[in-house]
Structure 1
Amino acid sequence: MEETDSSVKFRGQLLSIDENLGKDGVEAFKFLCRDLISSKKLESVASAQEIFQHLINNDLLNKEDTFLIAELLYRIKFNSLLKKLGYTKEGVQEQLPLKGRVSAYRQMLYEVSENLTEDDVKSAMFLLRLHLPKKQSTMTALELLTALEKQDLLAENNLGLLKETCYKISPELLCRVNRYEQNKEIGQANQEFASSSFTEQPFGNSVTTVQKSSSINAPNTKDSYTEEFGSLKQHVARFGSLPARQDVKAGNTAVSRNFISEQSAGNEESKTTAEKPAQYKMDGPHRGYCLIVNNTNFVNLLERRGSHTDVRELKRVFTWLGLEVEIYDNQTSTEMRKILQKWQSDQKWKDNDCLVFFILSHGESGQVYGTDEELIPIRTIMSYFTAKRCPLLAQKPKLFFIQACQGKKVQQAFILEADSGDSMGIQADAQTSGYISPQQMASSIPDEADFLLGMATVDGYFSFRHVREGTWYIQALCKKLQELVPRGEDILSILTEVNEDVSKRADEKGERKQMPQPAYTLRKKLIFPKPVVSLPSFQ
């Protein structure tokens, strides 16, 4: 009887996961299981239940060991379903090195698929039309990769066509493929691959840069795609309480002592103008645009009360700084993507100096919610404005600020609400130690120069919002911009001060704290010109 009860419980768990997985989740499961279940069997699979049964038949899944399903959920970021199997995100991460079954090759392909936009897939289908089923006019990224594998044009030891395609339609993804090959060559392909994944990555504690390569021509050379706009060693700064002088993003793993000495000497009056760190051009016909997506009302999630205060202050400060402010309230994930597409192709960028983009919403690790409660990876949002996809913004600074939780920690204090996506309670799968390695940091933002990403909090933790006075992070940012821009401070120095401000804040009991986390691939100092008008007062 006990055996029957445990069997029923086991299958009930699987059924519950199937009911919550959705079509996209099933397709992701099928793709990640291609090395575990025969292709012929997978072709006829229409539900997660069928996948589970195949895994049971292959002795890969049973009521005593459900880790493979937990791994699959973790890989596709359905961490909220882990609790149905009794797992947490941290628990899965700890066991992956010993119990993980999804190969590094399969993980790499899945990451590539996650970062291919619909336009990228269409371009790839056009390039590869002779190799794809003629009757199929549309495909998802996973279907495209699966078709190439079926044609023996893509395999663990045959990545040439994939690399060539990435080079032509989305060069930043080529770095991901090259990194996989390098790890494989030095015997690291069987190590936990997620620790360097840009689709799962938390945002790092370290200052991040990209090293210039002398050539980007041949897609079959290692690291053939690197930033073509010059060396990032022109400006390396420290972020206050965050670790400094961390590894650089590509190439050398440490900044040379000679370079550090040069930067230290930069404050000396005797240094010549030519030796001083370069600055981004901020004197064009138009300063730029500040775009604000402000999501407050959701289908089931808590209303983000107090966010209007942040929007009001952001509009006031960035208008004062000379930018035109556009506000988008309560956008679904689909509407957010349409906004990104609109601005990606906008011809206005030709005469503008910079882009500033704020997203105020609920969020989870590395992702933000639309009002329809669909998640969008932050890296995907930023990728719309790479030099290839938005050439009019090439070599111009692109600043992204994310005010959203990146996890769920402890219960909030009275009058404080956490910008998480969970209205029912605390989710253990969102908690982390808060430490992000330099290697993880290296894949947090696009593999291109001129980006800055300001996160309200480190991965896995709440960010806090006062229901009347707004969020700690946005209010501190606006305050420091007002104080330090007139003094000629650059944006990295200002963010250091923001970190200091927010780190000193706490709830009424002094128990809840928050630590922002910036990352960047800026090549030069970014200094907003001192405004010639007074800061407008609240209307």
Structure 2
Amino acid sequence: MEFREKLLKVDQALNRDDTKALAFLCKDILKCDINLVESPIDLFQRLEEKDVLSEDQPYLLADLLRVIEHFQLLRELDLNSTMSTTVNPITPYRKLLYELSKDIGQKELKNIKFILTKDLKRSALELNVSTLEVFLEMERMDLLSSSNLLRLEQILKDVRPVLRKQIQQFKDSPGKIAQETGLVDLRPRSSSDASRRGKVQQQMMIPMYKELEGAEQYPMSGQQRGFCLIVNNFDFSCSKGPKNPEGTEIDEGRLSLVFSWLGFQVEVLRDATRDQMLSSMEKLAGRDHSGMDCVACIVLSHGLKGGVYGVDGGEVQLEELTDRLNGIGCPSLRGKPKLFFIQACQGNKREQGVPAQANRPARPEVSDQTDGPSSPGVHAQTDGPSSTGVNIQTDGPSSTGVLCSDASVASESLPSMADFLIAMSTPPSYVSFRNGKEGTWFIQSLCQNLVRLVPSQKDLASILKEVIKDVSNKTDSKKRRQIPIYSTNILKLVVFPVPEGPRPSLPTSL
């Protein structure tokens, strides 16, 4: 599909509220009154004039669709693995306000308007004015900016206290510093700016594409590759709701074989409670990694949007795991890759397959199960046999009584610290499928592609791109799909040395 056809398809798929959201997210790029933006096509034309969107640079389009969670459209336009090579196509401040707006209901918005009665114009307080429009008016009245969030914090303290945590995380994040120092400018405006921007991009570029294969690589010459912690939560019998995720044993076996082959010192923590998961990360952070090249942490569990579950039903936010390995929490890992792989659902939405083109072969069908807690009293399997005679499940809560799901953290809550790569089995709000006899789609593909591509010196981001393609070609008996995602701010290529031993023979079933 041609790029302009893609833009037209986006224009046709989005509604008025989506258009307003996109314009709001692009306000710092457009530097104009976003009320003038009439449609997605109008916005895209303005972005093209700003030289931040083109066929050669579709990154901003992909990022916008991710933020507003139009994942099926991303898949249809083949933009799933498209990541920006800039620090932040959309400023962290805009993303923060947009995320806050999604969690503010009509009752809270009414209270916010009441508090601001004396500060804003009457037209900004009318019933049909949205949260984003209130934020815009606060900015016009100099009550809100990336460096002035005090008034908003005070309001949320009275209206929705839980949201103040998001503001604090933004204030503490390097993303805010990058924004205020100008590193998020998308394009140079002069030759001197171009020179400066070139240096910044060299330092901050995310290695996602084949063109970057000649880029600098992380050193991989330590005494050992690093520690690999596998958290495998299977026995949820003591908690309410989640069913035991069938097939997780084979996932653990595959991962242990592959990461040992890659040179990692593999350790497995089984059936961990919330406190045990956090304690294990504290112990991992407290170790001396100075002789190691990197670290890997893999979580196999049930989950929900925003975190994963311990076997006691306790929620663990992903940032609670990652924060312990940042440059402050673990100094001996500074400048080294910190790799996280999360097998869990992020909600109960199901990706629906679309008809294949006539000249394309039909995709294999399997019957699935998701990786998460089902509704009470509901069987977790699908209602149809697979082509292999094996039922597959989903890893999260079921709203239909057919699938159960276990959701994981949204990409927007991932830490913005350097040298992190976080790969997840499914996007925010969606389920992740597993085969009760063969394991999860994501882990199965990850292990197979590591074994296949590491000997050819493929970097990890390129390998994950193949995983995305592989998993997206799978479908269950109801034509439902799954799309893994990954988020990264690694500064160099992660290329594992070719292992000396023979490639491991991976188990294919229990």
**TM-score (normalised: structure 2):** 0.54
Structure 2 partner of 1:291: 229
Q: Counterparts of 1:382 and 1:475 in 2: how far apart (Å)?
A: 24
Further displaced range: 92-101 or 361-370: 92-101
Which residue, 382, 403, 421 being the options, matches 2:373? 421
SS in 1 for 2:339: strand
Residue 369 of structure 1 and its aligned partner are, at CA, apart by: 0.3
Counterpart position of 2:219: 281
Letter in 1 for 2:457: G
Task: Indicate conservation of the 8 Å contact 1:488/1:527, yes or no.
Answer: yes
Letter paired with 2:297: F
- Which residue number corresponds to residue 355 of structure 2? none
Number of matched residues? 324
* Cα distance in structure 2, aligned partners of 1:345 and 1:461: 34
Aligned 8 A contact 1:292 1:328 in 2: yes
For residue 366 of structure 1, report the CA deviation from its aligned partner.
1.7
Equivalent residues in 2 for 1:14-413, closer than 5 Å? 93=102, 96=105, 99-100=108-109, 182=147, 184=149, 226=174, 251-254=183-186, 259=198, 276-298=214-236, 299=238, 300=240, 301-347=242-288, 349-409=289-349
Letter paired with 2:468: N
- Runs of 4+ with >3 A deviation: 92-95, 97-104, 183-194, 196-201, 222-227, 247-251, 255-264, 410-415
Give CA-to-partner distance per residue, 1:298-342, whole Å, 9 cap, x none. 023201110111111111111111111111111111111111111
C-alpha spacing 1:292/1:251, structure 2 compared with 1 (3 Å): same
Which whole-Å CA distance do the structure 1 matches of 2:180 and 2:439 have between them? 35
Aligned equivalents of 2:271, 2:103: Cα separation in 1: 37
C-alpha contact (below 8 Å) 1:248/1:255 kept by paired residues:
no
- Counterpart of 1:296, as a letter, is F
Q: Would the aligned equivalents of 1:316 and 1:535 in 2 still touch at CA under 8 Å?
A: no
TM-fit CA distance, 1:361: 0.2
Cα pair distance change 1:191/1:341, threshold 3 Å: closer
Alpha-carbon distance between aligned partners in 2 of 1:281 and 1:533, rounded to the nearest angstrom: 21
Looking at structure 2, the residues matched to 411 and 484 of structure 1 have their Cα atoms a distance apart, in angstroms, of: 28
Closer, same or farther: CA 414–514 of 1 in aligned 2, 3 Å: closer
Cα distance, 1:447 vs. partner?
2.9
Which residue in 2 is equivalent to 1:517? 485
Match in the other structure for 1:451: 420
Q: 1:527 to 1:487 in 2, by over 3 A?
A: same
SS at match of 2:105: helix
Cα deviation digits, residues 130-174 of structure 1 (max 9, x gap): xxxxxxxxxxxxxxxxxxxxxxxxxxxxxxxxxxxxxxxxxxxxx
Shift of 1:537: 2.8
How far apart are 1:278 and its partner, in Å?
1.6
The amino acid of 1:377's aligned partner reads Q
Aligned-partner SS, 1:308: helix
Q: 1:209 — aligned with what?
A: none
Identity of counterpart residues, as a percentage? 32
Quote how far apart the aligned CAs of 1:530 are: 1.1
**Pairwise CA distance, 1:410:** 5.5
RMSD (CA atoms): 4.6
Whole-Å separation in 2 of the counterparts to 1:397 and 1:102 = 45
Per chain length, whose mean CA-contact separation is higher, i.e. which structure has more relative contact order (CA < 8 Å, sep 6+)?
1
Quick check: 1:386–1:446 contact (8 Å CA) kept in 2?
Answer: no
Amino acid at match of 1:504: N
Return the offset for 1:423. Answer: 3.9
Q: C-alpha deviations, 1:74-108, integer Å up to 9, x for none?
A: xxxxxxxxxxxxxxxx9x9476377337879xxxx
Segments of 5+ residues of structure 2 without an aligned counterpart are 1-98, 114-143, 189-193, 353-364, 379-397
User: Is the Cα–Cα contact under 8 Å of residues 503 and 514 in structure 1 kept in the other structure?
Assistant: yes
